[in-house]
Amino acid sequence: MSGDKNYSHGPVPISARKGGLALTFVMLGLTFFSASMWTGGALGTGLSFNDFFLAVLIGNLILGVYTAFLGFIGSKTGLTTHLLARYSFGIRGSWLPSFLLGGTQVGWFGVGVAMFAIPVGKATGWDINMLIGVSGVLMTVTVFFGISALTVLSIVAVPAIAVLGSYSVYLAVTGAGGLSTLQAITPAQPIDFNLALAMVVGSFVSAGTLTADFVRFGRKPKIAVLVAIVAFFLGNSLMFIFGAAGAASLGMADISDVMIAQGLLIPAIIVLGLNIWTTNDNALYASGLGFANITGLSSKTLSIVNGLVGTICALWLYNNFVSWLTFLSAAIPPIGGIIIADYLMYRHRYNTFDASKMRDVNMSAIIAVAAGVAAGHWLPGIVPVNAVLGGAFCYVILNPLMNRFRVTNSEMTRA
């Protein structure tokens, strides 16, 4: 394991931990994503000015609190999401969340590559397949260098996206008649406020469940908590504002489309490329950690393989797989709730990973995932929040009950 700088099979040592600023850039790079701008565009045209900001702030605060819990656990233990899942799901039971999390990230990587290549190809006349191949390979090569490469890329990308995007939004709002004009707009097709909250939380609850994969490198848990809140409360909110401003002023939610319409072609390509590159590299990195938990292989090698698969299948994924990825993502929020619940119930077990005894498969957690998905689908309220809480509450009740019927020592193995 000494050569595994991604620490995919054990805790991150103190000597490899990083400061809060570097991790903040990495997490902002994750949350700076075009899909959030599209959701922001839908909310901006479906809500009043005040309701839009209320939905965005409340929704991203919920995301910030959820990811802060997972970030605290990740930094406290130094473990990936997938190794944390072994405590609650069991060693082989953790393959389920690893497959769901890793598989969806590979799928979104391919979709992200196409999201870059298609608009750039249309704007420039360049061959889309060539753009997919070049951009996919570049994004895949970067992730080979692990968290350090993600940090450097994000340090470059985050300020560039924030500055260029903000300038474009300023031009768009000014051209539409100023902020007062946007405040006076009445939605033609209003969106229910609870649905709006669900859209905000749902936009990143899937990737947010993987927060521990990144902030486990934090030197102190309180730094990880702060980083998670800043990334999701500030970073994701900024993407929603970009999308809403573009949709309201020019009818386009993606800031890169707005910039192209403004004649800012080169800045648009830079913003779109960096926007997707940072998120895609985080997705590949996390997917490698997930499949490493299942196979025992190097996460670095698996990330490269996943990147090549995502690149080759990018157009197919973009055209056929988005709805399926959205469906799979509905099963992910309960996983985070179960990990948090298990840590709060049995945190003394998390002190020594190598010496910890874990079950092979813990059916309590598997059933709780199903219960969480059902709660998200059937209960009124905010769907992702219901899924997280439904999974957590079911696990809290079911796991102690099922423990009474187990022969504890015979079912436990070392991590």
pLDDT single digits (tens) 323-366: 665 666 678 899 999 999 999 999 999 988 888 889 999 999 99
Position of tokens 């753009």?
A: 131
- How is the chain split into domains, by residue range? 15-319
Q: Calculate mean pLDDT across residues 162-176.
A: 83
The pLDDT of residue 328 is: 66
CA 179 to CA 181: how far, in whole Å?
Answer: 5
The pLDDT of residue 407 is: 54
The pLDDT of residue 414 is: 58
The pLDDT of residue 2 is: 47
Q: Calculate mean pLDDT across residues 177-197.
A: 82
CA 71 to CA 94: how far, in whole Å?
Answer: 19
| Top-confidence residue, 213 or 185 | 213
Q: Is domain 15-319 in CATH 1.10.4160.10, yes or no?
A: yes
Statement: residue 409 has pLDDT above 60: no
The pLDDT of residue 326 is: 63
Angle 115-119-124 (CA atoms, 0-180°, nearest 5)? Answer: 140
Each residue's pLDDT tens digit, 72-127? 999 999 999 999 999 999 999 999 999 999 998 999 899 899 989 998 998 889 99
404 CB contacts (<8 Å, ≥6 apart)?
none
C-alpha count within 13 angstroms, C-beta hemisphere, residue 334? 29
The pLDDT of residue 203 is: 79
Residue (of 81, 143, 122) closest to 311 by Cα position: 143
The pLDDT of residue 1 is: 44
Each residue's pLDDT tens digit, 279-307? 899 999 999 999 999 999 999 999 999 99
Statement: residue 221 has pLDDT above 90: yes
Q: What is the mean pLDDT of the chain?
A: 88
35 CB contacts (<8 Å, ≥6 apart)?
115, 203
Tokens standing for 327? 């469906």
- Looking at the chain, the whole-number percentage of residues with pLDDT higher than 70 is 94
C-alpha count within 13 angstroms, C-beta hemisphere, residue 10? 12
Confidence band for 406, pLDDT divided at 50, 70 and 90 = low
Amino acid at residue number 178: G
244 phi/psi in degrees, rounded to 5: -65, -40
Residue (of 368, 372, 361, 376) closest to 395 by Cα position: 368
Rounded to the nearest 5 percent, the helix, strand and coil shares of the chain are: 80, 0, 20
CA 394 to CA 209: how far, in whole Å?
Answer: 18
Each residue's pLDDT tens digit, 18-28? 888 989 999 99
Amino acid at residue number 72: F
Q: How far is CA 413 from CA 342, 365, 378, 410, in A?
A: 18, 17, 37, 8
| Top-confidence residue, 271 or 116 | 116
Tokens standing for 126? 């360049």
CA 225 to CA 211: how far, in whole Å?
Answer: 10
| Helix or strand (DSSP H, E) at 413 | strand 412-414
Confidence band for 41, pLDDT divided at 50, 70 and 90 = confident
